[in-house]
């Protein structure tokens, strides 16, 4: 085959796409691996086989049908990680309800927007988690719950919401308790589920995930059984998961990383799902991996960093670990090396994607050399196409930066109730425009060089913050770093670096700049350096550079200098 002449790749595989619903595949998994471990939730003391998990999901689905929910209606879930989340996910798939993932960090305005935008008829909610009083917020939005008959809510601000199901102790008067639901379904509802198994289609929408846009209201990416079941399957294939594996999932279920790459990746391979806690905690994750002899581990780079840097790290036996995924944010090379060397993650993979593409488009494999696994996001996933285009929409030559576009089974149906923003994202030929800047080399390996909006243009020179961050990660005192542009009257933009140092280390701004001099081009050396203890980020570990930029602009307007 001749060398690649443009930045276009398509993924081939001997493994065909799955042409079935998630509910049908759950039945298949139970038939093959029903008595093997399916769901382990440490904080709840739960250890269910696949058969037990499927039985609970079916009973919950039948109960929801008994309450009058119909296929195609939306059921929201607003909760940190727990067994009820997974049961609800599979129950929705069995009955054809569209599961709406609501960010556990959402507050009143965001919750009201999400529930109203997609018209949720039911909501499964946690009671509280950390600083989030879910029950209190819901009562604030719908005070009618205080006197409502459970299942018959009529709320002025949440007109579509009729049914609230509370996880844990029932403290909301107008809510039903989660454990009650399973007993409501009888033979008629079980028969209805069997009918639905024959009529539901894999192209039906099954999931809405709100993407946290940095500007404007969140958009509800609408995904089908086909989108997410297949993506979970090929993520698992890339890691070579089997029914012998045990995957530790400390990432949130409300996000694709947890519910698709985690739950559906395990479903399609018979792998045990292991949840170390409601939210990420480095110590709980290390304890769980050691106690449960987990063979695989997921996380964003900051999660791996906080485990590696934990003072008790050395006391844990992590020797069962083999593989996993680091994704959700650029993966620093040094962090990757440490994971391989001291966490035994010799086969760890890097994955890249976005919610709108179910999510993964590129992934490294255990066979890729370490250099490839640290400097790229691997090659295109099976059955997908990717091209890199310039500002005019033309495919660029290999190695040339441009916007990454994806096409194939993984592309969402669209943003719920928002044709205009859907048309802006997915073009007439079916390409999802990601907004990410990337290159594809002659061998088909992709490197993400930044967001189109993140690219800094300093005095006419294009600077990709990712490149500068990778360089600064080499400094032994630097634990984490974020680079972004700030307005400048002379150059248009100047480079700023926020640096988090390792415990007990100290550096000056000049030390950072001196480290760069002579090593990277002068225009890539940060003009401004700030030392911080933490970065503003989303619940999923994505850095919010727009907030960093806003803070710096405010500081610089106040007359501070670098």
What value does the mean pLDDT take over residues 291-312?
94
pLDDT, position 562:
41
pLDDT of residue 159: 97
Higher per-residue confidence, 2 vs 86: 86
pLDDT score at 69: 98
Q: Are strands 414-415 and 402-408 parallel, antiparallel or unpaired?
A: unpaired
Q: How confident is the model at residue 544 (pLDDT cuts 50, 70, 90)?
A: confident
Is the pLDDT at 1 greater than 50, yes or no?
Answer: no
Residue range 22-211 in CATH 3.40.50.980: yes
What is the structure's pLDDT at 559? Answer: 59
- Band (pLDDT 50/70/90 cuts) for residue 561 is very low
Per the CB < 8 A criterion, the answer to whether 436 and 492 are in contact is no
Measured in Å, how far apart are the chain's first and last C-alpha atoms?
52
Taking phi over 0 as left and psi of -120 to 50 as alpha, with beta for the rest, 465 belongs to alpha
Average pLDDT estimate for 504-532: 93
Between 454 and 160, name the one with better pLDDT: 160
Q: Where are the domains of the chain?
A: 22-211, 457-557
Mean pLDDT of 391-413: 97
Q: How far apart are CA 138 and CA 123, in angstroms?
A: 10
DSSP character string of 478-506: EEEEEEEEEEETTTEEEEEEEEEEPTT--
State the DSSP H helix or E strand holding residue 75, giving kind and residue range, or none if neither: strand 74-78
Angle, CA of 173, 174 and 177, to the nearest 5°:
80
* % pLDDT > 70, the chain: 97
Alpha carbon 82 to its chain centroid, in Å, reads 16
Average pLDDT score, the chain: 93
Residue range 457-557 forms a domain whose CATH class is: alpha beta
pLDDT tier at 2, thresholds 50, 70, 90: low
Determine the average pLDDT of the residues in 328-344. 85
Q: Do the domains spanning 22-211 and 457-557 agree at the CATH topology level? A: no
Q: pLDDT class for 216, splitting at 50, 70, 90? A: low
Query: Has residue 257 got a pLDDT over 50?
Result: yes
Supply φ then ψ for residue 158, to 5 degrees.
-125, 70
> Once rounded to an integer, what is the mean pLDDT over residues 47-58?
98
| pLDDT band at residue 181 using 50, 70 and 90 as cut-offs | very high
Report residue 218 CA to chain centroid gap: 15
Q: Is the pLDDT of residue 300 over 70?
A: yes
What is the per-residue pLDDT for 539? 66
Mean pLDDT of 56-60: 98
pLDDT score of 540? 65
**Angle, helix 22-33 to helix 50-66, in steps of 10 degrees:** 150
φ and ψ at 323, to 5 degrees? -140, -175
Residue 229 and residue 265 in contact, taking contact as beta carbons nearer than 8 Å: no
pLDDT tens string 416-427: 999 999 999 999
464-474 mean pLDDT: 88
- At 214 the pLDDT is 43
Percentage of the chain beyond pLDDT 90 is 81
pTM for the whole thing?
A: 0.87
Which pLDDT does position 212 carry in this prediction?
62
Q: Is the pLDDT of residue 371 over 90?
A: no
Distance CA 355, CA 328 (A): 10
Q: What sign for the dihedral angle of Cα 228, 233, 235, 236?
A: positive
User: Starting at the edge strand that comes first in sequence, how are the strands of the sheet with 246-248 ordered?
Assistant: 46-49, 37-41, 272-275, 246-248, 296-299, 323-326, 349-353, 360-363, 379-380
Higher pLDDT, 99 or 454: 99
Structural Rg of the chain based on CA atoms: 24
């Amino acid at each position: 085959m001749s060398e690649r002449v443009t930045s276009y790749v398509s993924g081939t595989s001997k493994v065909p796409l799955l042409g079935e619903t998630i509910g049908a595949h759950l039945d298949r998994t139970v038939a093959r691996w029903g008595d093997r471990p399916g769901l382990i939730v440490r904080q709840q003391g739960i250890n269910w086989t696949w058969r037990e998990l499927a039985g609970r999901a079916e009973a919950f689905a039948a109960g929801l049908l008994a309450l009058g929910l119909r296929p195609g209606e939306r059921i929201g879930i607003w909760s940190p990680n727990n067994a009820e989340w997974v049961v609800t996910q599979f129950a929705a798939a069995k009955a054809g309800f569209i599961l709406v993932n609501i960010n556990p960090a959402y507050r009143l305005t965001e919750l009201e927007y999400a529930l109203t935008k997609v018209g949720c008829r039911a909501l499964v909610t946690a009671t509280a988690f950390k600083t989030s009083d879910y029950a209190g917020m819901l009562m604030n939005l719908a005070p009618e719950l205080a006197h409502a008959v459970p299942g018959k809510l009529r709320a002025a601000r949440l007109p579509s919401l009729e049914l609230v199901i509370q996880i844990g102790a029932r403290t909301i008067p107008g809510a039903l308790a989660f454990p009650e639901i399973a007993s409501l379904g009888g033979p008629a509802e079980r028969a209805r589920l069997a009918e639905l198994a024959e009529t539901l289609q894999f192209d039906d929408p099954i999931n809405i995930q709100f993407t946290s846009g940095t500007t404007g209201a969140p958009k509800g990416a609408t995904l089908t059984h086909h989108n997410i079941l297949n993506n979970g399957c090929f993520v698992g294939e890339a890691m070579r998961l089997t029914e012998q594996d045990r995957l530790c999932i400390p990432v949130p279920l409300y996000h694709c990383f947890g519910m698709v790459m985690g739950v559906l990746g395990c479903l399609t391979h018979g792998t045990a799902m292991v949840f170390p806690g409601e939210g990420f905690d480095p110590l709980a994750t290390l304890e769980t991996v050691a106690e449960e002899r987990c063979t695989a581990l997921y996380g964003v780079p900051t999660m791996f960093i906080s485990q590696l840097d934990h003072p008790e790290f050395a006391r844990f036996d992590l020797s069962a670990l083999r593989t996993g995924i680091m994704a959700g944010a650029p993966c620093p090379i040094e962090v990757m090396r440490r994971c391989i060397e001291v966490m035994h993650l010799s086969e760890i993979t890097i994955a890249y994607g976005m919610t709108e593409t179910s999510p993964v488009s590129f992934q490294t494999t255990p066979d890729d050399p370490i250099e490839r696994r640290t400097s790229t996001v691997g090659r295109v996933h099976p059955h997908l196409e990717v091209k890199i285009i310039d500002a005019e929409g033309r495919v660029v030559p290999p190695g040339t930066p441009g916007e990454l576009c994806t096409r194939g089974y993984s592309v969402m149906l669209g943003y719920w109730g928002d044709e205009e923003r859907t048309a802006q994202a997915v073009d007439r030929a079916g390409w999802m425009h990601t907004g990410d800047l990337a290159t594809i080399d002659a061998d088909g390996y992709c490197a993400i060089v930044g967001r189109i909006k993140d690219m800094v243009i300093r005095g006419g020179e294009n600077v990709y913050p990712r490149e500068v961050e990778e360089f600064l990660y080499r400094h032994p005192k630097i634990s984490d770093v974020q680079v972004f542009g700030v307005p400048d009257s002379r150059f248009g933009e100047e480079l700023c670096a926020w640096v988090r140092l390792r415990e007990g280390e100290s550096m000056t701004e000049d030390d950072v700049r001196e480290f760069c001099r002579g090593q990277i081009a002068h225009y890539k050396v940060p003009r401004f350096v700030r030392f911080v203890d933490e970065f503003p980020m989303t619940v999923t570990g994505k850095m919010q550079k727009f907030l960093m930029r806003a803070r710096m602009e405010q500081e610089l307007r106040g007359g501070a200098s670098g």
